[in-house]
Structure 1
Amino acid sequence: MTNHPAEMYKYHTWANQTILGRIKELPSSVLSQEVNSSFPTIAHALSHIYAVDKMWYLVLTGTGMKEAFQACMPVNDSRLYSADQYADIFARLSEQYGDWFRSQTDLEQTILLDNPFAGIRQTRLSEIVLHVVNHGTYHRGNISTMLRQLGHASTMNDYALFWYQEPVKSI
Structure 2
Amino acid sequence: MTNHPATMYAYHVWANQVILEKIRELPSDVLSLEVNSSFPTLAHALSHIYAVDKMWYLVVTGTGMREAFEECRPLNTSILDTVEQYMDLYAELSGLFQQWLRDQTDLEQTLLLDNPFAGVRQTRLSEILLHLVNHGTYHRGNISTMLRQLGYATAMNDYAFFWYQESVEAI
Shorter-chain TM band: over 0.9
> Matches of 2:9 and 2:81 in 1, distance apart?
26
Report the equivalent of 1:112: 112
Report the equivalent of 2:144: 144
Give the Å deviation of 1:103.
Answer: 1.0
- Aligned residues between the structures: 168
Deviations 1:138-163 (A, max 9, x none): 00000000000000000110000000
Give the Å deviation of 1:125.
Answer: 0.2
Give the Å deviation of 1:77.
Answer: 1.1
Report the equivalent of 1:17: 17
> Matches of 2:166 and 2:119 in 1, distance apart?
40
> Matches of 1:140 and 1:116 in 2, distance apart?
24
Normalization by structure 2: what TM-score? 0.96
Q: Which structure carries more helix by proportion?
A: 2
Report the equivalent of 1:131: 131
> Matches of 1:157 and 1:116 in 2, distance apart?
31
> How many percent identity over aligned positions?
74
Give the Å deviation of 1:117.
Answer: 0.7
> Matches of 1:73 and 1:21 in 2, distance apart?
26
SS at match of 2:69: helix
List runs of 5+ in structure 1 lacking aligned partners. none
> Matches of 1:103 and 1:128 in 2, distance apart?
16
List runs of 5+ in structure 2 lacking aligned partners. none
Give the Å deviation of 1:166.
Answer: 4.6
Report the equivalent of 1:60: 60
Report the equivalent of 1:70: 70
Which stretches of structure 1, 4 residues or longer, exceed 6 Å deviation after superposition? none
